[in-house]
């Protein structure tokens, strides 16, 4: 017989959606601070600041600004992973490595949304070929990007994703953005893979190939 008393008592409280925004974010009006439920301070970026970052970097360093933002994203992603993993472990009572894949994916989706970074989806269908495809929509980074850019502009997000999934997988991963809302696409696509393979996508992107074509070429290339 199942002893329910034992079952429910041993591991309570039973966790729900840790990143639900009403539980996750709290603020103190008097001192003007916002923090998350782990007690860590949060910072809110006004859209104007993001826009200014693109403009200022473009004026200061021109072509290199993408790389700078990507590297900022890498740094940010490393710290983000550390916090994310610690908070998850504390709340769900098990380390990320022991979490079911679906639980992990749901956590990252909820977290992404609560942080105001839009909606994220993780596509594992290219996993066998060694690629991970991330789709985001309503990205504030894309929204703040200059409208006349003719290339994907979510460099910071790409850097964040590469560092984050490098930590998750334990393998060095690079990230190439293959579609961007700032160019009128419905979503942003990011392809993650080991650097020498995924970098090929960059050349096809410069040729003007779309996300689907790039994915097909990456997989064909892989098969050869």
Partner 1 sequence: MYTELRELLYDAEEHYLQSQEIDKLRQNVQSLKERLAIYKALRDREREIFQNVANQLEKELNPQEVEQLPKAIRQWATILRYLAMGMLLNSHEFIQRRILEWITPVIEAHSRLSLDRQTYQALKSELKNLFPEKQWQILQPFLLQVEQTMLRSDETK
Partner 2 sequence: MYKSLARLSVETDGRYATDNELQFIEDYINSVEKRITTYEKIRDAEPKIIEKVEKQKQEINPELFKLNGRDITGICRRDMIDILRCSAGAMLLNEMDYLRDNMLIWYRTIVQAYQYDRHDDAIYKLLENNTKAYLTPEEAKLMIPILQLDHTLLS
State the Cα–Cα distance between residues 180 and 110, nearest whole angstrom.
21
Which residue from 1, 5, 10, 16 is in contact with partner 2, where contact means CB under 8 A?
16
**Residue 67 to residue 86: CA distance in whole angstroms:** 29
Among 29, 43, 46, 62, binds partner 2 (CB under 8 A): 29
Q: How many residues bind partner 1 (CB under 8 A)?
A: 25
Residue choice 42, 105, 183, 194 for contact with partner 1 (CB under 8 A): 105
Q: Given the complex with partner 1, which of 8 and 64 has the nearer CB atom? A: 8
Q: Do residues 180 and 117 lie in contact, with contact meaning Cβ atoms separated by under 8 Å?
A: no
The stretch near partner 1 (CB under 8 A) out of 7-15, 117-125, 170-178, 186-194 is 7-15
Nearest distance from C-beta of residue 11 to partner 2, angstroms: 10
Q: Which is nearer to partner 2, 94 or 171 (CB)?
A: 94
Q: Kindly tell me the burial class for residue 196, based on how many C-beta atoms sit within 10 Å of its own C-beta (0-12, 13-18, 19 or more).
A: exposed
> Considering only CA atoms, which of 72, 83, 81, 92 is closest in space to residue 169?
81
Contacts of 194 (CB under 8 A, 6+ apart): 130, 171, 172, 173, 174
Write down the least CB distance from residue 164 to partner 1, Å.
20
Give the shortest CB-150-to-partner 1 separation in angstroms. Answer: 37
Under the criterion CB under 8 A, does residue 30 sit at the interface with partner 2?
yes
Which residue stretch of 12-20, 150-158, 183-191, 208-216 sits at the interface with partner 2 (rule: CB under 8 A)? 12-20
CA–CA dist 223, 31 (Å, integer) = 58
- Coil, helix or strand at residue 193: strand
Which residues have C-beta within 8 Å of that of residue 38, sequence separation ≥ 6?
83, 86, 87, 90
Positions 20 through 49 that interact with partner 1 (CB under 8 A):
20-23
Q: Which residues make up the interface to partner 1 (CB under 8 A)?
A: 1-2, 4-5, 7-8, 11, 13-18, 20-23, 100-103, 105-107, 110
Q: Which residues make up the interface to partner 2 (CB under 8 A)?
A: 12-16, 22-23, 26, 29-30, 37
């Amino acid at each position: 017989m199942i002893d329910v008393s034992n079952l429910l008592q041993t591991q309570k409280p039973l966790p729900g959606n840790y990143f639900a925004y009403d539980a996750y974010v709290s603020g103190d009006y008097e001192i003007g601070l916002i923090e998350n439920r782990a007690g860590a301070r949060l910072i809110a970026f006004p859209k104007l600041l993001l826009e200014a970052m693109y403009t200022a970097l473009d004026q200061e360093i021109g072509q290199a600004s993408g790389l700078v933002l990507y590297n900022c994203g890498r740094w940010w992603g490393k710290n983000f992973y550390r916090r994310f993993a610690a908070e998850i472990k504390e709340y769900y009572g098990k380390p990320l490595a022991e979490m079911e894949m679906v639980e992990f994916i749901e956590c990252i989706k909820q977290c992404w949304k609560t942080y105001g970074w839009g909606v994220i989806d993780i596509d594992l269908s290219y996993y066998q070929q060694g690629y991970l495809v991330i789709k985001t929509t309503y990205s504030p980074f894309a929204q703040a990007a200059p409208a006349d850019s003719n290339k994907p502009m979510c460099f910071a997000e790409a850097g964040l994703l590469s560092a984050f999934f490098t930590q998750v997988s334990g393998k060095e991963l690079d990230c190439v953005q293959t579609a961007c809302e700032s160019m009128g696409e419905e979503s942003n696509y990011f392809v993650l893979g080991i650097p020498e393979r995924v970098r090929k996508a960059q050349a096809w992107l410069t040729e003007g190939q779309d996300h689907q074509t790039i994915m097909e070429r990456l997989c064909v290339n892989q098969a050869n």
